[in-house]
Amino acid sequence: MQYSRYATNPILPGFYPDPSICRVEDDYYLVTSSFAFFPGVPIFHSRDLRHWEQIGHVLTRSSQLPLNCRRISGGIYAPTLRYHDGVFYMITTNVDGIGDFVCTATDPRGPWSEMHVIENAPGIDPSLFFDEDGICYMCGNEWGKGEPWIWAAEFDTKTFSLKGERKRLWQGALRNAWAPEAPHLYFRDGYYYLMIAEGGTEFFHAVTIARSKSIFGPYEGFRGNPILTHRHLGKGYPISNTGHADLVENRDGSWHMVLLASRPYGGYHLNMGRETFMVPVVWEDGWPVVNPGVGHVDWLCPVPDLEDWIPPQQDEDAFTSPVWNHLGCPQGLDPVTIGENTLRIRCIAPPLVPEGEESEIVKAHALGFLGRRQQHMSFEARVKVSVPPEEGVSCGLVVLQNDFASLRIELTRRESGVEARAVQVWKDGRNGPLEEAVLGLSAAMETEELVIRASGQSFALMLGDWTVATAEGGFMGSESCGGFVGAYIGLFASGNGEDRECEAVFTDFHYTGIR
């Protein structure tokens, strides 16, 4: 490959799994999963495959994103993004009782349409494919009941419904395949290609492919499958879990693949969850070769010599930046009021972490939380916060993998004054009881600078320059606490069981990542 330019992997660091990409002339667009975070389905733009700008989200209204889930890893699974005849189509699954649906837009920056729910479309990971004659097909997976299959059917883009029967296409390259999912269809040189993921989204993840002369098959699996996996590289390899991929053809006829992978650190700990990576692809004898000459995903990804493009600068520390997310969809009175440099969070009832076994964190919909992804193994996050005058309320800074794994530094108003506490929440094993431990205590002022500093898995929970406690962070890896998300750095306030009118006020937030 003769390229002299490189993109740096991961192209989207932090929890950005299940990427899907499409190109319109010189512009590339990419979406990822978002689970129970709101707004949902972040969307990115690039013109050179090296720099990516988040241009917003697809699901920005509560009507598009009903989240009734009781877990952070519910909600929105794997979206696919496609463009046809002036219209962008985003198809995805809301696993909280909605199923597969499509939203459309003529401008990827929005507005996006309301959701069009698709009847009779089982499974997850739906995908659309527009054939050369303009006919659209939908494919997805059937998994869970009986044998797993990838299916496809003609899809009516006017009524957003399946036309005719669903046909079974392929069961994957592996005998007794585990989790054939993430199907995407492509057409090239007289063949329909069906690319999927197999092996499950963890260590055994892999990308496999089959092809057929006819869209509904029969599909012939590639003898060289899997075309990509890192499972043979062992758990010490710094890029793990490669899978769930999508292909894009560049203007010059070359191809790239975007995919999810994880970066374990400090042991086999995947705190940042699944991130978006990219690799070049060439076609040999009618089949794809991923990263030719290398055979796996690398830190650098050669890209075509596209015109230099610098995305508009965004201040990600400003609370108005699209990097910030709610947890659960705010309904009715939103406790979070966002100004550019000031964030106010009302001290509503639910504590940040549930006391019982069952998660309440997402059920609360309007939890007093706003967060952004942890994107680096080593980082520092700092924020100034003023604790409200009512006794019993808390506010603070948290690194949160899910409601069973977090580290936080918080201020609590007591009768005797303000107390700072460093707290760890964890479960002993995935099914063990929920534990909460106060790692350190300190007297504090009404307004403090809260700091979380991570040097790899060594975390310090601080008041300004004073370390209240330290902790090892490996317990926040998604491989041990389960689920599909990655760590967030969040600001929160709580009435600790009582709805209060008062608000915590946050200013001067700074996140600094150390690569």
Q: Which residues bind ligand 6LW (CB under 6 A)?
A: 17-18, 33, 77-78, 124-125, 181-182, 197, 201, 243-244, 260, 484
Q: Which is nearer to ligand 6LW, 126 or 368 (CB)?
A: 126
Token pair for 197: 């993921």
CB of 340 to ligand 6LW, least distance (A): 32
Distances (CA, A) of 286 to 188, 212, 279: 9, 11, 18
The C-alpha angle with vertex 139 and arms to 137 and 145, in degrees rounded to 5, equals 145
CB of 226 to ligand 6LW, least distance (A): 14
User: Which amino acid type is present at position 255?
Assistant: W
CB 89 within 8 A of CB 102: yes
Q: Which is nearer to ligand 6LW, 180 or 302 (CB)?
A: 180
What distance in Å separates the CA atoms of residue 81 and residue 158, rounded to the nearest whole number?
17
DSSP label of 187? E
Which residues have CB under 8 Å from 89's CB, separation 6+? 81, 82, 83, 102, 103, 104, 128, 157
Residue 18 annotated in active site: yes
Q: Which is nearer to ligand 6LW, 243 or 371 (CB)?
A: 243
What distance in Å separates the CA atoms of residue 292 and residue 280, rounded to the nearest whole number?
8
* DSSP count for the chain of H helices, then E strands: 1, 38
DSSP 338-351: E-SSEEEEE--S--
What distance in Å separates the CA atoms of residue 488 and residue 75, rounded to the nearest whole number?
17
CB of 320 to ligand 6LW, least distance (A): 28
What distance in Å separates the CA atoms of residue 270 and residue 104, rounded to the nearest whole number?
34
Q: Which is nearer to ligand 6LW, 182 or 381 (CB)?
A: 182
Q: Which is nearer to ligand 6LW, 78 or 476 (CB)?
A: 78
Q: Which is nearer to ligand 6LW, 153 or 207 (CB)?
A: 207
Q: Single out the catalytic residue among 125, 181, 275, 403.
A: 181
User: Which amino acid type is present at position 29?
Assistant: Y
DSSP label of 313? P
Q: Which is nearer to ligand 6LW, 18 or 317 (CB)?
A: 18
What distance in Å separates the CA atoms of residue 185 and residue 129, rounded to the nearest whole number?
6
Distances (CA, A) of 403 to 374, 408, 497: 16, 12, 16
Residue nearest to ligand 6LW (CB): 201
Other beta carbons within 10 angstroms of residue 292's beta carbon come to: 13
Task: Give me the half-sphere count of Cα atoms (radius 13 Å) on the Cβ side of residue 501.
Answer: 0
CB of 493 to ligand 6LW, least distance (A): 30
User: Which amino acid type is present at position 36?
Assistant: A
Of 147, 148, 125, 367, give the one whose Cα is nearest residue 138.
Answer: 125
Return the active site residues. Answer: 18, 181
